[in-house]
Amino acid sequence: MQWDIFCTVIDNYGDAGVCWRLARQLASEHQQTVRLIIDHFPTLEALTSQSITHNTLLDGVVIAQWSEQVTYTGAQVVIEAFACELPLNYQAGIKHSTRKPLWINLEYLTAEAWVEGCHNLSSRHPQLGIEKVFFFPGFTPNTGGLLREHNLFAQRDYAQSVGTLSTLFPTVRPQDYDLTLSLFAYPAAPVTALLKSLAQAKQSVLCLVPACRIVPQIESLLGQGNLVPFQRYSYGALTIQVLPFMSQAIYDQVLWHCDLNFVRGEDSWVRAQWAARPLIWQAYPQADNAHEDKLAAFMQRYGAQADPACWEAIERLGWSWNKADPDQVLDTQWLTYLPQWKTLAKQWCDHLSEQPDLATQLLRRAEQHNSA
């Protein structure tokens, strides 16, 4: 089938990150013909480490520049990611087509229970008279699932067993430290407090910081500006290394090799779950604090099988990270629970992987539409 995936980049990397993974997986694993229509090539260039121009073919996906002139060329499936609103010209093309495509609005991920009642519902477009299906990714069998490539765990297990990080980055040496963590966060996070607490830990700690907007906080903590990527900076028991922004594939490997990953938004959050390593999720901040409901819903699922004492420490860290509470972040009790937390992370990953993945579920939905 021919798929058109539309994506607008609101801010950050998540919208493009999700759409790119989905597009690649549909093309490479499911042999679909995929066009990704996106309004900001630089974001995609950062995620792929490739240069992109209009109609670049990358990993089997045609990448096209979003414009109001994009035409409908008969795709059987149209994905409007995160309610990005299809160009009017394209909508008119659908309206006049003889065989209507399956039109899907792909929603943001949340662990909240209400999505089960809304997943796969459709509503008729008032002007076009076409059904639009609302597809919710999620954590339970009654949702659309999560993006997960079929060979992901084999790659992860191999990389974790041989330790591929120092091969990729010779100066990044987790093997020299008791503990390695990665820190990808929004600037509101209490980064300084966390690093101060780790500087006093009994263990030696390596903190990897992919280029993001928390770097200025680290520069003030260290009292130096312009931190050089890969250079090691010491702060008490802590060593800090800033990493340049990597392709998704390489960032995945960083996650696989850390003992704890701080992640954010949507896509890095999912990838950290597939890493089967402890994670702290920072939800994308929303004006009305709606993200706190999302965090609570996730925490409830993630911690359901955890030992209560271990869970109390994890929960405290998770909430204080999201609520930017430096006093609570200073409590490093969670360090003692890392081995149990690792088991929990593996069990959680195994549990989630029992669900069919998002691309497969979309494909099934499209096949159903086509045969109707």
Q: Nearer Cβ to ligand TRH, position 10 or 228?
A: 10
Asked if 112 interacts with ligand TRH (CB under 6 A), we say no
The helix/strand/coil state of 38 is strand
Asked if 266 interacts with ligand TRH (CB under 6 A), we say yes
Cβ of residue 133: shortest distance to ligand TRH, in angstroms?
21
Cβ of residue 14: shortest distance to ligand TRH, in angstroms?
2
Count of other CB atoms within 10 angstroms of residue 164: 16
How far apart CA 115 and CA 140 sit, in angstroms, is 10
In the annotation, is 266 catalytic? yes
Q: Nearer Cβ to ligand TRH, position 205 or 246?
A: 246
How far apart CA 342 and CA 286 sit, in angstroms, is 30
Q: Which residues of 36-66 are buried (b: 16+ CB within 10 A; e: fewer)?
A: bbbbbbebbbbbbeeebeeebebebbbbbbb
Cβ of residue 351: shortest distance to ligand TRH, in angstroms?
21
Q: Nearer Cβ to ligand TRH, position 14 or 101?
A: 14
Asked if 108 interacts with ligand TRH (CB under 6 A), we say yes
How far apart CA 334 and CA 316 sit, in angstroms, is 9
> Among residues 137, 138, 190, 210, which is the contact residue for ligand TRH, using CB under 6 A?
210
* Active-site position among 15, 112, 267, 357: 15
Asked if 107 interacts with ligand TRH (CB under 6 A), we say no
Stretch 172-201 residues interacting with ligand TRH (CB under 6 A)? 184
Q: Nearer Cβ to ligand TRH, position 2 or 247?
A: 247
Q: Nearer Cβ to ligand TRH, position 47 or 179?
A: 47
**SS3 assignment for 5-21:** EEECCCCCCHHHHHHHH
The helix/strand/coil state of 178 is coil
> Which among 356, 371, 355, 365 has a CA at the least distance from the CA of 120?
365
> Among residues 3, 6, 8, 14, which is the contact residue for ligand TRH, using CB under 6 A?
14
Q: Nearer Cβ to ligand TRH, position 48 or 320?
A: 48
Asked if 106 interacts with ligand TRH (CB under 6 A), we say no
* Active-site position among 107, 266, 267, 357: 266
> Among residues 229, 284, 301, 326, which is the contact residue for ligand TRH, using CB under 6 A?
284
- Which residue is at the shortest CB distance from ligand TRH? 14
How far apart CA 344 and CA 307 sit, in angstroms, is 9
E strands, the chain, are: 2-7, 33-38, 56-58, 61-65, 77-81, 102-106, 121-124, 131-135, 179-183, 205-210, 232-235, 238-243, 260-264, 279-282
Count of other CB atoms within 10 angstroms of residue 127: 9
Q: Which stretch binds ligand TRH (CB under 6 A): 88-96, 165-173, 241-249, 303-311?
A: 241-249
Q: Cα separations (Å) of 201 from 195, 196, 315?
A: 10, 9, 20
Cβ of residue 61: shortest distance to ligand TRH, in angstroms?
15
In the annotation, is 325 catalytic? no
Dihedral of the alpha carbons of 204, 329, 186, 242, in degrees to the nearest 10 = -10
> Among residues 90, 139, 251, 302, which is the contact residue for ligand TRH, using CB under 6 A?
251
> Among residues 4, 15, 80, 107, which is the contact residue for ligand TRH, using CB under 6 A?
15
What is the number of helices (H) and of strands (E) in the chain?
Answer: 15, 14
- For residue 320, what is the enclosing H or E element? helix 308-322
Chain contacts with ligand TRH (rule: CB under 6 A): 10-15, 17, 47, 108, 184, 210, 245-248, 251, 264-269, 284
User: What residues act catalytically?
Assistant: 15, 266
